[in-house]
Amino acid sequence: MGFAHGTIVKQELTGLIEAFWKYMESEIISGINGTTKGFFRPDFLKRVADLGLDVALDIENAITERYTGTYFHDEIKGMSDATGIEEKKFRRIHLIGELTKGSCSMFGAWGSALPNSKGLLQLRALDWVVDGGLQNFPEITVYHPNKNDKNGHDFANIGWSGWIGSIQGYSSAKLAISEIGVSYPDESFGKESRFGTPFTYALRDILQFDETFNDAFNRLTKGKRTCNLILGVGDGKINKFNSVQYSASVANFMNDTTLKPEGDWHPKIKNVVYHGMDWLCPSFNEVMAAQISKLYGNLTPENAIRDVTSIVQTGSLLITYYDFNNDVIYTANARGDNEHGPRNAFDRSFVKVNMTELFAEQPPTN
């Protein structure tokens, strides 16, 4: 799969790797010098200052390799062979999610929160750098694994050219994922660890291999976890969404009655699970709760695009709504360097994609 992917989008993939690597180097220099703060984790910046960027990332790869499926390495090798870009550089880029501090938002709504109490609507809003090069190479990569092998089922990875980990995505098993980086945890998170499965690989495994919500539950609770996050898993077959308080110490699944953290600024809403920008983030959660409540009973992708994410101001780089009832997604990307209009994805036009049609695509006959 990697060689075919790299061959088809060689120019875009090469452009992304070069642009984002350059951006990372500039942020590393600024972070070490104290010019800017917040993009990279402080412990990682110290390792870079002591050892250099390449070595620091290679160490991260070495300590996560035993927890990473060999199919990821095989896919990276294929892309490397197709593009001529060193394998190590691909691997280094793909660990950035473990080492940075992205703020994001999510919700899942079902039952009485939706028109006619039908279906499940899920949000994944990524708030990350909109000038780091990623915005120029958006891509929905649809995988159709060989059904004669143990390669899983069809799924769509929503991200950028050559990005094989998952930060947004939807599968033919009607499972979808959300994720938030946690910069402001409380003591209930326990400890973090560098030794485990990179979370973007764990999320992709849910999309590629898991058939049910319970499969995803078992994967996340039994797996070797790493950093502080809030994850989200939706299953459109049973109209169920849970968020997950996630760290090396815990994997706490939360529904609308067990939602945390608790506080006046994070009120529980029947048949809705939501988180705005971080774990302890009163201002964004208050606005998100208010906007969801205004639309309660009539929460649709169109209404939420207009009156939730654009008002909350979340989803700067990439944003996707998963409409399970109709098997479609609505997605928007930050403004590319050669594009016009608003910069942030939440203010831009969305693309509606029929997932049934994508997964029904047949392989070429010759």
pLDDT band at 334 (very low <50, low <70, confident <90, very high): very high
Secondary structure of 279-322 in HEC code, one letter for each residue? CCCHHHHHHHHHHHHHCCCCCCHHHHHHHHHHHHCCCCCEEEEE
* pLDDT at 314 (0 to 100): 98
* pLDDT at 267 (0 to 100): 98
Question: How far from the centroid of its chain's Cα atoms is residue 231's Cα?
Answer: 9
* pLDDT at 325 (0 to 100): 96
**Percent of the chain surpassing pLDDT 90:** 72
39, pLDDT greater than 70: no
Tell me the pTM: 0.92
**Percent of the chain surpassing pLDDT 70:** 91
43, pLDDT greater than 80: no
pLDDT band at 355 (very low <50, low <70, confident <90, very high): very high
The answer to whether residues 211 and 174 touch, using CB atoms and an 8 Å cutoff, is no
Task: Determine the average pLDDT of the residues in 319-344.
Answer: 97
pLDDT band at 46 (very low <50, low <70, confident <90, very high): low
3-state DSSP assignment of residue 32: helix
Q: How far apart are CA 60 and CA 203, in angstroms?
A: 19
Give residue 185's region: left, alpha or beta (phi > 0; psi -120 to 50): beta
Q: How far apart are CA 335 and CA 321, in angstroms?
A: 18
Task: Determine the average pLDDT of the residues in 168-197.
Answer: 95
254, pLDDT greater than 90: yes
* pLDDT at 32 (0 to 100): 60
Give tens-digit pLDDT for 102-137. 789 999 999 999 999 999 999 999 999 898 899 999
* pLDDT at 34 (0 to 100): 57
* pLDDT at 94 (0 to 100): 81
Task: Determine the average pLDDT of the residues in 255-276.
Answer: 98
Phi, psi (degrees; rounded to nearest 5) at 243: -95, 160
Give tens-digit pLDDT for 141-175. 999 988 766 889 999 999 999 899 999 999 999 99
Task: Determine whether 3 is exposed, middle or buried from the number of CB atoms within 10 Å of its CB (0-12, 13-18, 19+).
Answer: middle
Task: Determine the average pLDDT of the residues in 50-79.
Answer: 82
* pLDDT at 59 (0 to 100): 79
Q: How far apart are CA 335 and CA 202, in angstroms?
A: 29
182, pLDDT greater than 60: yes
CA distances from 239 to 34, 110, 271, 275, 301 (A): 46, 6, 10, 19, 16
CA distances from 340 to 319, 334, 336 (A): 18, 10, 8
65, pLDDT greater than 90: no
Quote the tokens at residue 87.
């394998």
The answer to whether residues 2 and 78 touch, using CB atoms and an 8 Å cutoff, is yes
Task: Determine the average pLDDT of the residues in 229-253.
Answer: 98
Task: Determine the average pLDDT of the residues in 35-57.
Answer: 63
DSSP 163: -
Judged by average pLDDT, the poorest of 88-92, 201-205, 323-327 is: 88-92
Q: Where are the alpha helices (DSSP H) in the chain?
A: 2-8, 10-33, 42-51, 53-64, 70-83, 87-93, 96-99, 199-209, 213-222, 282-294, 301-304, 310-312, 355-359
Quote the tokens at residue 326.
């109709």
Question: How far from the centroid of its chain's Cα atoms is residue 324's Cα?
Answer: 18
52, pLDDT greater than 90: no
* pLDDT at 268 (0 to 100): 98
Quote the tokens at residue 188.
């209930």
* pLDDT at 209 (0 to 100): 95
Rg (CA), the chain: 19
* pLDDT at 47 (0 to 100): 63
